[in-house]
Amino acid sequence: MIDETIALTARALKKWVRNPAAIMPSIFTATFYLALFGSSFNPINLVPTQINGIQIPSTMIQLLKTAFRQSFGGAPTYITYLTAGVICLVLVFNMAFGGIDLVEDRQNGFLSTLLADPIPRASIYFSGVLQNLVKAAFLAILAFTIALFVPNGLKLPSSFGVVDLAGVFSAFILLAFALSCIFTALALSLRRIDSLVAVVNFLTLPLIFTSSALFPASSFPDWLKAIAEVNPISKASEAARLLIINGSLSASQLSTFTNDMVYLAVLAVVLAALGTLAAGRVLRAE
């Protein structure tokens, strides 16, 4: 099954690389949110310097800016806070729409050909998951690099090292794997691309905006905060953000990071099991 999975994954990735239109939207999304949203909606810029024409003392202004930064985890810039959330956002959309290739394979008859061949049917599902993971790793690295070069953008602490970088991308990969498992199974069960697009749009937007990807959950109303606390995008964003902002973690921060990673790992296992069962049923019914 491994050889078949690798072969199908390589085929899908070749199609992806040869189609720049499939890669460019992710680049534009990351750049748009980081450079435009991150700059124009910077909460620190909302701190006034005057009230009714009266100049606010500079010490008070600095105090207010410090308070804003603390509410955003102590990030030196809003883009530093936003980077992890934007990468998660890019991954969510790409994992969700990554199944379009599978729907196209069904429509052009390639899937029927595969099902008629003596290959394990599970390899079809796992190749969909694996190709999405490779795409996720590439897009995460690309978005992270963009954040470093955006004006007044991502600022890493001096203590940030290779181990911290590995921890950041581990959170992203766990999220991407969990979402890829369930969205790949969904794509295999649908027969039309417009059906997939409709379902994906219905699921992804609420998933993103009920998370702390763009703003801290502390600013949410209680009902939304409760949802954000169990949202996997929040968990991945917070885990990566702890390392991006702080580098070396304190005991309490390390505990939070560990809990978030365990949550993501358990979710990945559960969704992998559910996705495998769902995909197996669909492929056996073909």
pLDDT digits (tens, 9 = 90+) for 160-208: 889 999 999 999 999 999 999 988 888 888 778 877 788 888 888 888 8
- Cα–Cα distance list, 18 to 13, 40, 100, 127, 210 (Å): 8, 34, 16, 18, 35
Report how far residue 24's alpha carbon sits from residue 267's, in angstroms, rounded to the nearest whole number.
30
> Does 117 lie in the same domain as 71?
no
When pLDDT is averaged across residues 67-90 and rounded to a whole number, the result is 82
Q: How many distinct structural domains can be found in the chain?
A: 2
DSSP single-letter state for residue 214: S
Of 264, 279, 15, the residue nearest 129 (C-alpha): 279
> Does 270 lie in the same domain as 175?
yes
pLDDT-based confidence at 44, cuts 50/70/90?
low
Residues 121, 115 contacting (CB under 8 angstroms): yes
Instruction: Select from 56, 76, 96 the last residue of a domain.
Output: 76
Q: What is the pLDDT of residues 199-251, one digit of tens each?
A: 888 888 888 889 988 888 888 888 999 999 999 999 999 999 999 998 888 88
> Does 60 lie in the same domain as 26?
no
- Mean pLDDT, all residues of the chain: 83
Show the domain range for 86.
2-42+78-285
Report how far residue 142's alpha carbon sits from residue 236's, in angstroms, rounded to the nearest whole number.
17
| Better-predicted residue by pLDDT, 26 or 77 | 77
Residue 43: predicted pLDDT: 67
Report how far residue 234's alpha carbon sits from residue 220's, in angstroms, rounded to the nearest whole number.
13
Residue 8: predicted pLDDT: 80
Kindly report the backbone phi and psi dihedral angles of residue 154, in degrees, each rounded to the nearest multiple of 5, phi listed first.
-65, 125
Cα dihedral sign, 33-34-39-41: positive
Report how far residue 77's alpha carbon sits from residue 73's, in angstroms, rounded to the nearest whole number.
10
Residue 165: predicted pLDDT: 93
When pLDDT is averaged across residues 41-58 and rounded to a whole number, the result is 66
Residue 53: predicted pLDDT: 66
Residue 94: predicted pLDDT: 85
| Better-predicted residue by pLDDT, 132 or 108 | 132
pLDDT of residue 3 exceeding 90, the answer is: no
> Does 118 lie in the same domain as 221?
yes
Of 55, 111, 74, the residue nearest 279 (C-alpha): 111
pLDDT of residue 74 exceeding 70, the answer is: yes
Report how far residue 185's alpha carbon sits from residue 194's, in angstroms, rounded to the nearest whole number.
16
> Does 29 lie in the same domain as 69?
no
> Does 185 lie in the same domain as 62?
no
> Does 238 lie in the same domain as 139?
yes
Least confident range from 12-16, 17-21, 248-252, 273-277: namely 17-21
pLDDT of residue 51 exceeding 70, the answer is: no
> Does 101 lie in the same domain as 57?
no
> Does 126 lie in the same domain as 7?
yes
pLDDT of residue 271 exceeding 90, the answer is: yes
Report how far residue 51's alpha carbon sits from residue 48's, in angstroms, rounded to the nearest whole number.
7
Residues 189, 275 contacting (CB under 8 angstroms): no
DSSP single-letter state for residue 98: T
DSSP single-letter state for residue 226: H
- Cα–Cα distance list, 272 to 76, 125, 179, 185 (Å): 37, 11, 9, 10
Instruction: Select from 76, 93, 127 the last residue of a domain.
Output: 76
When pLDDT is averaged across residues 83-87 and rounded to a whole number, the result is 91
> Does 158 lie in the same domain as 168?
yes
Unique residue bearing structure tokens 């079809």: 124
Element housing 28 (H / E) = helix 20-31
pTM over 0.75: yes
> Does 115 lie in the same domain as 53?
no
Report how far residue 86's alpha carbon sits from residue 34's, in angstroms, rounded to the nearest whole number.
7
> Does 272 lie in the same domain as 132?
yes
